[in-house]
A and B are shown apart, each in its own frame.
Chain A
Amino acid sequence: MTAPSNNDQTNLLQGTLDMMILKSLALDQMHGLGISRRIEQITKGTFQVKPGSLFPALHRMEEEGWLVSSWGESESNRRAKYYRLTKAGRRQLESETERWGRISLAIARALEAS
């Protein structure tokens, strides 16, 4: 599933994208491109988010107060903007994780029932 490119889909999948971003930043701060690669990595290639579609989400989440950004140096000694989770962001990640857990359990049960 590639990242959504128009508004309707964004709303549907916004929650999912947000959670992916939060999860990627759980352990370490990263810049935009890094987050995109990390999402691809931890979902084993299922989600491929274009960096361009990541930026609106990152900025929005920063305004929500879940992320905070700062300029730093990338591994190749180039300037890049790094994002990391805030306390509120961590709380959001926890609650989202729990919610998704409940949902997937429910769906699994529904599919098992005959």
Chain B
Amino acid sequence: MPMLSRITSYLRNIFAREKADHDLDDEVRSCSDLLAQEKMREGVSPQQASRQAILELGGVEQVKEQVREARAGAWLDSLLQDLRYGARMLRKNPAFTAIAVLTLALGIGANTAIFTMMNGLMLHTLPVRAPGQLVELLHHYPGEPEPGFNGFSWDAYRIIRDGNHVFSDLFVGSANVFTVSADNLQPQTVFGGEVGGTFFEALGLQAAAGRLIGPEDVHMGDHAPVAVVSWSFWKSRFDLDPGIIGKEIVVGDAPVTIIGVAQRGFYGLSNEARQDIWMPISLGPSPGWGFGLLARLKPGVSLQQARVEMAVLFQTVVNAPEAGPFVRDMKLRIEPAGNGVTTPLSQMLSTPLKVLMATVGLLLLLACANLAGLLLARGVSRHHEMAVRVCLGAARSRLLRQMLTESLLLSLVGCALGIFLAYFAVHALIRVFASGRFIMGLPMHFEALTSADTRVLLFTGAIALFTGLLFGAAPAMSASKTAPASALQQAARTGESKSRQLFGKSLVASQVALSLVLVSSAGLFVEYLSHLRNRDLGFERNNLLLVTLDFAPSGYNVAQFSRLSQELVMRLDAIPGISSATFSDMSPMEGPGASTFAFAENHPEKRAQASINYVAPDYFETYGTPFLAGRDFSARDQAGSPVAIVNQAAARNCFGNENPIGGHITLSHTTLANGEETYEVVGVVEDAKYNDLQQPAPPTIYEDLLQQSFIGSQLAIRTRIDPGGAAGAVRQTEAAVLKTVPIVQIMTMNQQIDSSIVPQRLIATLSASFGALGALLAAIGLYGLLAYIVVGRTHEIGVRMALGATRSDIMRMVLRDVLWTVSAGLALGIPLVSWARRVITSLVFDLPTKSPISLVFGVAVMIALGFVAAYIPAHRAMRVDPMIALRHE
């Protein structure tokens, strides 16, 4: 039975190798003996006979090697051998191994970290049926962040549902936060959703217990008496108790019965937060645009076709007579939702992650070039070893395999360390994100970003393999081309073949090029960040303290608020370190607030979108926004007709070149169905940045907080001293006046600005770190190359000096090498930089592309590095003693 005998041979070859080897040795030698005997019978002398016998046999060791290769399991045998040998080689050079492993760990780890986050946010598919067909509908206002917001009116839903031909399913699903409690459950905040009757069915989900929400549960009216919970909710809160079906819990303040548990592993459609509870939506005419719409494309219908049809259909929605005025500028967007729906987190991070992914990719390439250079240099010192192996009968392919195994071993160890580093890196990055401001008032959840599923592991394994092959290829090929004769010569010159030296130089040149791209991109991002931070904001950012208050627990009515807030402002004004204080609805960089459509009374055609802020008197003085005309709100306005203050942009939009003071504007609120109010304009202020540092200041209309009976939760304080020092006094005064109003947070204006640009800060910091790392690697590569060249040319230097060259001649010789390599790298790198810049500009608008500062900076850094790296080798070259060099062969 060939199979059985194969297996036994296999096992024997692995476990009884020594015996089998001995056996083989005996056999081959015995054959050689017999051959020699034959020859002696023919009359040849004994020594000649044995020599001829060996020649005819082909060499004992060679034959043995051939037999070994033909054996079953030979590949495994040689693989294990290669691994053991490789490990020993690495152990013999701990310094080299440490540097290589560290470089690889940083490169691979950085890639893994960024990819993990990309995967969690953008790449992994939802556990639903046919996620590729899933799309979400979004509406978009000009000026809002792309791609838009998923919220539609009842009318819009009906029109889309009845008029489309591209969707096989259209269903409703919105996210919300609920307070849940039960008899064994403390009141807790649970993230969940309100869904339509076909939600679960359209997604193809099964219930893990009980049943899921269906069309029969959807009804008109407010109460939603049933709910479905997630599997992990069932496990963590109820211990998988089968009695959960039919259990009564309290959501908000209404009793709800749990009718089922969702499929295990399903947590809603958002990557940002896991949903744990779903309730049927109250489907029916209701004001506002609160229905989140999702759809499934019909088989065969492409996304583009759907977009085209929807653009036409949405016109019907937009032009409907009962649609509010702001609807007309809305556009419909359809985005694939198989990887999760659009969330504030994905909007904030998708571009930065792409930029970072490219950066760490470049860094890894740089590391590969660096390691290839290192290994090549080391390979020369192993020439002798390779030559001996060739003589002993090793095939060149075997040598190649051996070298590649060593590289892959390095790569593997670097990969393991890298994964370890990546874990910490991801968590550190998440902590930075968490310091960013809350969007839409909801804290962000980052669990999605840290999940390392199989795709991440595959990615890491793939790049480790690819990296190992990439940097190992050149050294391996060079080793396998060893010509034994020349290598075994004792007098072998360490002078390299021209082509090998050129290859080493081109490796270093490519490192310089990549490093240039990294460094100048970093320079670009840092420049951009400082540009963002230092631009004129329309208000004074320093010495400004922002306090957020929570009036809910106090139960104050407007009259109480009005009286107490004014008292608090008076008391704060009295404190020596404080120059003024004010209340408002929103602070500048807090986030988006209310918006409206406004038009001047005699120019109704000039209707424009504007942001609204409710502010108390002294708002503009506290923030340092100058008045261009008119006056501030005052106490007298409270009893009078409605007044408003507009900024320049709003004035220009609504009034053109006319003086707005004394004119009237009408606002149609987006939040009220039909409400329109008219205000007299009493002041015009300078434009001030609002919500977004990158966008120009939007047209803004300020209403009188007290006149409009609005309770403002933002307290702003202009200080004469460092704001942090005033915080204590502020707390005390606030507690004294507003006893039942807790302070949610206190921060300075600068801190708030920083928290609104976390992604930009992050890109700047990370790309600067990667740039520095890349520059370091390139410098090491340069140094290694130069040191190696100098050693190789020691003889030549000796000759030159003997023939009369001075030390400075020698130094110039070395520096010429440096400059050539660096220049080659720059020549390669500069076009790369301008290409990279174009790519970045397409991703990040508002970049100061015309400025050459970052490129000049990058070039300067590379040249400086060249000189630094050349210092020691040049010195060594100059100190060469001709007598010793000439003898050095």
With A78-B34, A78-B37, A80-B30 as given contacts, are A56 and B56 in contact (CB-CB < 8 Å)?
Answer: no
With A50-B57, A65-B4, A65-B6 as given contacts, are A31 and B70 in contact (CB-CB < 8 Å)?
Answer: no
Q: Is the CB of B31 within 8 A of A63?
A: no
Q: Which residues does chain A contribute within 8 Å of B70, judged by CB atoms?
A: 56-57, 59-60
Count contacts between A and B, CB distance < 8 Å.
78
Q: Is the CB of A52 within 8 A of B34?
A: no
Q: Is the CB of B56 within 8 A of A51?
A: yes
Q: Which residues does chain B contribute within 8 Å of A107, judged by CB atoms?
A: none
With A78-B34, A80-B30 as given contacts, are A65 and B2 in contact (CB-CB < 8 Å)?
Answer: yes
Q: Is the CB of B5 within 8 A of A33?
A: no
A 61-72 binary contact with B (CB < 8 Å = 1; else 0): 011111000000
Kindly state whether residue A79 has any CB partner on chain B within 8 Å.
Answer: yes
Q: Is the CB of B34 within 8 A of A80?
A: yes
In the bound complex, CA of A31 to CA of B34 (Å):
10
Kindly state whether residue A74 has any CB partner on chain B within 8 Å.
Answer: yes
Q: Is the CB of B66 within 8 A of A51?
A: no
Kindly state whether residue B206 has any CB partner on chain A within 8 Å.
Answer: no
A 38-59 binary contact with B (CB < 8 Å = 1; else 0): 0000000000001111011101
How near does chain B come to A65, taking the closest CB pair, in angstroms? 3
Q: Which residues does chain B contribute within 8 Å of A56, judged by CB atoms?
A: 66-67, 69-70
Total interface residues on B, CB under 8 Å, equals 30
Q: Is the CB of A52 within 8 A of B72?
A: no
B 68-101 binary contact with A (CB < 8 Å = 1; else 0): 0111100000000000000000000000000000
| Residue in B closest to A71 when the chains form the complex, CB atoms | B26
Kindly state whether residue B421 has any CB partner on chain A within 8 Å.
Answer: no
In the bound complex, CA of A66 to CA of B27 (Å):
19
In the bound complex, CA of A63 to CA of B35 (Å):
26
A:71-98 near B, CB below 8 Å: 74, 76, 78-81, 88
Kindly state whether residue B28 has any CB partner on chain A within 8 Å.
Answer: yes
Q: CB within 8 A of B5: which of A50, A57, A65, A78?
A: A65
Q: Is the CB of A51 within 8 A of B31?
A: yes
Q: Is the CB of B35 within 8 A of A51?
A: yes
Q: Which residues does chain B contribute within 8 Å of A76, judged by CB atoms?
A: 34, 37
Q: Which residues does chain B contribute within 8 Å of A66, judged by CB atoms?
A: 2
Q: CB within 8 A of B30: which of A50, A62, A78?
A: A78
How near does chain A come to B376, taking the closest CB pair, in angstroms? 29
B 436-479 binary contact with A (CB < 8 Å = 1; else 0): 00000000000000000000000000000000000000000000
In the bound complex, CA of A63 to CA of B3 (Å):
9
Q: Is the CB of A55 within 8 A of B5?
A: no
In the bound complex, CA of A32 to CA of B28 (Å):
9
Q: Is the CB of B31 within 8 A of A31?
A: yes
Q: Which residues does chain B contribute within 8 Å of A63, judged by CB atoms?
A: 5-6, 9, 71-72
In the bound complex, CA of A56 to CA of B5 (Å):
17
Q: Which residues does chain A contribute within 8 Å of B1, judged by CB atoms?
A: 65, 88
| Residue in B closest to A56 when the chains form the complex, CB atoms | B70
Q: Which residues does chain A contribute within 8 Å of B59, judged by CB atoms?
A: 52
| Residue in B closest to A6 when the chains form the complex, CB atoms | B395
With A63-B6, A63-B9, A64-B6 as given contacts, are A50 and B58 in contact (CB-CB < 8 Å)?
Answer: yes
Q: Which residues does chain A contribute within 8 Å of B5, judged by CB atoms?
A: 63-65
How near does chain B come to A32, taking the closest CB pair, in angstroms? 5
Q: Which residues does chain A contribute within 8 Å of B30, judged by CB atoms?
A: 31, 74, 78-81
Kindly state whether residue B33 has any CB partner on chain A within 8 Å.
Answer: yes
Q: Which residues does chain A contribute within 8 Å of B28, judged by CB atoms?
A: 55
In the bound complex, CA of A31 to CA of B6 (Å):
22
Q: Is the CB of A52 within 8 A of B71?
A: no
B 5-25 binary contact with A (CB < 8 Å = 1; else 0): 110010000000000000110
In the bound complex, CA of A76 to CA of B33 (Å):
10
In the bound complex, CA of A56 to CA of B38 (Å):
23
Kindly state whether residue B62 has any CB partner on chain A within 8 Å.
Answer: yes
| Residue in B closest to A5 when the chains form the complex, CB atoms | B58
| Residue in B closest to A81 when the chains form the complex, CB atoms | B27
In the bound complex, CA of A81 to CA of B56 (Å):
19
Q: Is the CB of B2 within 8 A of A88?
A: yes
How near does chain B come to A60, taking the closest CB pair, in angstroms? 5
Q: Which residues does chain B contribute within 8 Å of A31, judged by CB atoms?
A: 30-31, 34
Q: Which residues does chain B contribute within 8 Å of A64, judged by CB atoms?
A: 2, 5-6
A positions within 8 Å CB-CB of B: 31-33, 50-53, 55-57, 59-60, 62-66, 74, 76, 78-81, 88
